[in-house]
Amino acid sequence: MHLLGALSGALTNFPVCGFVSDMRKTGVFGTLDPFVEDGPILGRRVANLGFLHALLQADPFSSYHFFIADKPLRDSLASKLAELAPGIAAAGRFRLMDRRELPARLADTSYFCFHQSDCISHPTQLARLRNAHARELFPITGPVHSLSYPDYPAAFLRHLWAGATPRDCIIATSEAGRLAVEGFLSALRAGYGLTHLPGPSIRRVPLGLNAELLKPPLPTPQDKAALRQRLGLPQDRALLLVLGRVSHASKMDLLPLIRAMSRLFTEPQDTGRPLPREAVSLVVAGWADERDPFPRTLVDMGARIGLDVRLELRPGERRKNELLAACDVFVSIADNPQETFGLTLLEAQAAGLPVVASDYDGYRDLVAHGETGLLVPTTGPAPTEGDDFVDRLAPLLFDNQYHLLLAQRTVVHTPQLAQALGTLVADAPLRQRMGQAGRERVRRNFLWSGVIARHLELWDELRALPAPDIAALRHVPHPLELPYAKVFAPYPTRTLEPGDLLRPGRSGAALLGGREFPVLYAGLDSLLDAEAIRKLIFLARKGESAELLAERFRELCPQIDAERARYHILWAMKHDLLEPAPKAPA
């Protein structure tokens, strides 16, 4: 499914808040990411598209530069950006460029910040390029999404290097996520002896929702009844809704929910009697693998205890919103470190539903216990000295395999879960009060317009932080940057030395005589300059050492730095425009 198309209805007419004019920044926004991806509608993709759309609607920057490696992707992104922000596109304020243009653009453009769609893909490599070529140390930021992949320590190790500055920032979307990132960096500093490296800043900024979700009024009882009839859902009973990936291995194990309902059906409640089985139904909606037996297992286990379980697999955006409007209580008992934030909890509260959620990860940031919903206590494993068998095994397993191992040792307490569900099932006025409070809390704290304002405040804060002079970082390589010339020096017969004498080759002589021209392959145009090549060959016409030739070349072509000058010389030798001159006899 095309994500932009699926969400286009929710994103149209995104309101521009009154504070936008106060957020205008001097400078250019840059990124290496498209933010818009095709594929299943997953939380990360929804969040990235929501961020981009809200940023473009606020439009605080003079222009927006996207450095995309793949030309078909650049072309596709151009049309999507025109759809998201036609005014910016019509004014020519989008620039989509090949990543090979980065050094030149960093050198000649005043960037306010670069923001990535995550903190894993390229922020440190971008920081190295910024340090080497940019005019100033602008902030480089990126948010966390899932943090539980076993190869992520290597990704976070990249952030600990001598060229990192406080203006480089990992954005955690929840307090639990912020503490987890600190845990990553603390363990890496201890393990690699890097306690002297402060690394990037860490700040918390949540994800958000589109304000359009709060425009429709909450459904009346009559509206709910009509909607349930159309959706084929039962009337005259409380409907519990679970929305998200239906997977015990990568989202949440719902069997504890079934067991909690069994308690309600068999143990006396506040009324002195068990909850009648016909008082409640469970709707489980979301994405599931067609070969996964888990969804049907839920239905079968529900039937054994007399619980009516309705499956709604792979609902579209409209169907999802209808389910939110038709149901009474939203339930999400995350037990898996794959989860970090929890956008579905915000969507449920925006729809006026009270939430029963596990007191886990970012959920506790989103649900005000006793006010907008009820949090169920969780218990996890105590940290041990060193590692444990899951730590050792996880790098060798598939994602769903080690996530299952991790989730099955995280306890969502069944008695308290049953109590929370029973409280809300039995008390319709409480459900209404909590639902309205949750909707208002989303309005105050979790709309994309406010989240973008917080990003702008963060970028201002980061730009004001003390940082070293960028000149001191120009030649600080990243330790995980592969030094190709040094590592692969044994491959060629020899390397070019400063004293090597060079003169025009046969093709170089033809070039000077107007009988030849440089042949530049696509992809080299940002590195090589055809007119400069002619000047280079002219400078070598009487024979010149490689070192002196590079110096004179840079004097004649000041736009070319020392690294590109050496590249021009080797390229010219490769194409017979230059050749080694015979040494004079001793």
pLDDT at 4 over 60: no
- Dump pLDDT digits (tens) for 470-484: 999 999 999 999 999
- Dump pLDDT digits (tens) for 252-295: 999 999 999 999 999 998 888 999 999 999 999 998 888 888 89
Residue tagged 């504890």 (tokens): 256
* Among 49, 57, 77, 59, CA closest to 13: 57
Q: Where are the domains of the chain?
A: 3-209+453-466, 219-441, 484-580
Which CATH code is given to the segment(s) 219-441? 3.40.50.2000
The more confident residue out of 271 and 299 is 299
Asked if the domains 3-209+453-466 and 219-441 are classified in one and the same CATH topology, the answer is: yes
Q: Once rounded to an integer, what is the mean pLDDT over residues 115-131?
A: 96
| pLDDT, position 40 | 58
Query: Per-residue confidence at 10, pLDDT binned at 50, 70, 90?
Result: very low
Query: Per-residue confidence at 6, pLDDT binned at 50, 70, 90?
Result: very low
Q: Are 366 and 330 in contact (CB under 8 A)?
A: no
The more confident residue out of 251 and 158 is 158
- Dump pLDDT digits (tens) for 426-463: 999 999 999 999 999 999 999 999 999 999 999 999 99
Query: Per-residue confidence at 584, pLDDT binned at 50, 70, 90?
Result: low
Q: pTM for the full model?
A: 0.91
Burial of 222 (0-12, 13-18, 19+ CB in 10 A): exposed
| pLDDT, position 557 | 95
Query: Per-residue confidence at 7, pLDDT binned at 50, 70, 90?
Result: very low
pLDDT at 523 over 90: no
Question: What is the Rg, in whole angstroms, of the alpha carbon atoms belonging to the chain?
Answer: 30
> pLDDT averaged over the chain?
92
DSSP 480: T
**Please, what's the b/e burial string for 305-322 (b: 16 or more CB within 10 A of its CB; e: otherwise)?**
bebbbbebeebebeebbb
Q: Which two tokens stand for residue 500?
A: 């090597």
Residue 35 has φ and ψ, to the nearest 5°, of 70, -20
pLDDT at 188 over 70: yes
pLDDT at 522 over 90: no
| pLDDT, position 2 | 44
- Dump pLDDT digits (tens) for 13-37: 333 333 444 567 789 999 999 999 7
| Superfamily in which the 3-209+453-466 domain is placed by CATH | Glycogen Phosphorylase B; (3.40.50.2000)
The DSSP-derived string for 159-196 is T-STT--TTEEEEESSHHHHHHHHHHHHHHHHHHT-TT
